[in-house]
Every structure is written in C-alpha cells, then in structure tokens.
Chain A
Amino acid sequence: MTIRRHHDMGGLDAGTVEPVEHDYAIWEKRVDAIVKLMSTEDRPYLSTDELRRGIEELGPGVYDELNYYERWISSATNLMLEKGVFSVKELGRKMADVESRWQAAGAKPQ
C-alpha cells in the first residue's frame, strides 16, 4: 500500500503559479510570534515537527480550506491543549469572551 499524504504534493499537477502576495495582517504576525515564543529553549512547548505534524493531521479538507496562519494556530492550539498549557474549558471561555468584545467594538464575522 502506498500512502501519499495530502501535504506531500511535489510533482502533482496544479495550475499556473499566480504571483499573488499580501502584506501580512497583524493577526498573522501575532500567530507567528506566539509559535516562535512557545518554541524557545526555555519554553519548549512546540517543536517545528510537532507543528508540521499537527498541520498535516488537519486532513485534506481543512488543510485547503484554511489559510497558512489559520493552519498554524489550529495546530499550535491543539498541541498546547495536549500538553496542558491551557484547558479546553479555558480556551472556550476565552474565545467567547474575545468574540463578544470584538462584536461590541463593531467587528463582524467574515
């Protein structure tokens, strides 16, 4: 049996490379910063390969649906839950809190 995993795409057919780019949004830079700060010598919570593994395990649908830093925060958050950095309950409560604050400030979901 030859398993080819979804992220392992070298050599597959794909469309033209569109030369798109964007200035990284503040939230993307902050995800980047969280991951880097949590993978230092004195905070060895996330290794590059754990993060990669977590991204690969998001599965084909989610992998393509999310953008780059959405995949990063998904993987990093799962790993921090696994390692007990915070609990599911804490995360859920905090996310509800953040969303209600943002809504109160006039932001809307995309």
Chain B
Amino acid sequence: MSGPHAHALYVHGHTPVHRLAPEAKLAAQLLFVLAVVATPREAFWAFGVYALLVAVVVGLARLPIAFVAKRLLFEVPFVLFAVLMPFVSRGERVDVLGVSLSVEGLWGAWNVLAKATLGLAASIVVAATTTMPELLRGLERLRMPRALTSTLSFMIRYADVVAEEMRRMKIARDSRAYDPRWLWQARAVAAAAGALFIRSYERGERVYLAMLSRGYAGSMPRLEEAATPAVVWAAALAVPAAAAAVAATAWVVGR
C-alpha cells in the first residue's frame, strides 16, 4: 500500500464528508443510486437536480474539480452498447443530421448514460472520501456477515501485494524480451497466473499459521463498538432523501 490508509482513488481531506460515518455514507450511496435508477427518464429536470446534489457534496468534500472530471471520463465499455441503441432499436424513427434514429433507442441511450454517469459520480465521491478500513467498518456495521467482512479485509489488505507480485512477473517476462500478443502465446500469461495463484494461496496459508500462533480462534476481535449518532445518519441520508423526493415528484407530476 502507498500509505497507512490511502488507496489510489482517495483524496486526503478533513471535511464533513470525509468525517461522515462510513456505514451512513454507503447506505446513502446505495439509496441515492436506487432513487436515480427508479426515476422516469422523461423527467430531465430531475436528473439536473441529482447532478446538483452530487455537485454540492463534491463541494463540501473539497474534491478538486479536475480530479472528478477526469474520473468521470473513465467510460465503461458497456456505454458503447448504449450508443448503439438509437441505431438498432425498433419503433418510430427520427432524422438527425440525415441519419435515421429510433426514438425509443435515443431514450434508452439517454437513460443509461444519465443514470450510469450519476452512479459513477456517487462512487467517485465515496471512494475519494472513504479509506479501505472505513469501508470495512461500514460494511460490518451494516450487518454484513462477519465471514464476508473478514474475508474482504484480507482481500483488500493483500490486493496490492498480489498485484505488485504480478507486475514483477510481467517485468521479469518483458526483460527477457517476450511480449505475448496472440492467443497461442497465452501460455506465458497463464503460467504467470498459475504461479500467482500458488504464491497467493501459500501466502494465505502462511498468514493463517501466523495468525494461529498469535492466538486466532476463528474470528477477528471487534475494535470499536460505539453506535453512530442519529444526527450523522440524518446528515448522510439527507442526500438520498432529497433524491427520493425528486424521484417521487417526477413520477407524480413531472415528465
């Protein structure tokens, strides 16, 4: 790891958003995204309000605009499928600059692009203000089963170690001037993956034995138990509550 509790997407800060209890932040993220997804796509104004809500939180968290904008450009390949929609969908068609497009497809593409972008924006804010240990604590307090959170804690702790191990193997291969480009050269990649698995598994065995020798008896101790105050929950859930109100309004009046 690059620091005691930093990950690549984290932006260091001491803002109210950074200090917010992680379980409240995660619940807010999920509820916000669900409200966005449940919004009728014809309610353009609602998506404007959502973008504004996210912008306010970005401001409160003092995240650099350039950082957020750059991360937003990170497009998912799935979006390609959305871009194709207007061309292949059935139903009524309109001419845009001489190209015949499906109205239903245009709506579909807008729907996916708007909602996926807002989901991405929410995840950028959460990732930029939450450390990995906080994520774990949040999930644990959201009553995720202990077996899952403790497995996840090992995954997070060792993800960088394993990824670095893989990078070293790639450097070793590159420095021997072998650069596989074709599927029939995949053996070199797979041999590395096999070696990586064995090294990861054996590391897991060593970690387990080290834990046993330090008195591990099947579960990790909980370090803090203080409950999150209702005020904190209220502050975090204000954002998804506003989003839910917008979604409900859009269904009743809007369009």
Q: Do A and B come from one complex?
A: no
Interface residues of A (CB under 8 A from B): none
Interface residues of B, Cβ cutoff 8 Å to A: none
